[in-house]
Amino acid sequence: MKECIHCRGIMRRSTTPFSVDRKGYHLHWEAVPAWVCEQCGESCFESREVDLIQHALMALDRESDALLSAI
């Protein structure tokens, strides 16, 4: 079991929304796997989820750059 670094509450495996505004686009996922504090709601992603999010953002950056260069 994990302990929340903010309030010392209990962290449980669940999902949480994730949003980012980046390079002219907005990305939102409704339910990304994460550890979520039962007490304060703080969420923490494991390295696998962070890597997948970063990979998706890099791919979207490339596609966005290609789309905008077509103007």
Tens digits of residue pLDDT in 32-57: 999 999 999 999 999 999 999 999 99
Side-chain-facing half-sphere of 37: CA atoms under 13 Å: 13
* Structure token pair of residue 46: 């494991």
CA dihedral 50, 38, 10, 36 (to 10 degrees): 0
Mean pLDDT of 17-43: 95
Mean pLDDT of 12-38: 95
Domains identified in the chain, total number: 1
Residues in the chain: 71
CATH number at residue 39: 3.10.20.860
Whether 34 contacts 25, CB under 8 Å: no
Distance separating alpha carbons of residues 62 and 18, to the nearest angstrom: 20
Greater pLDDT, 66 or 29: 29
Q: Which residue range is the domain that position 18 belongs to?
A: 2-69
> Residue type at 7?
C
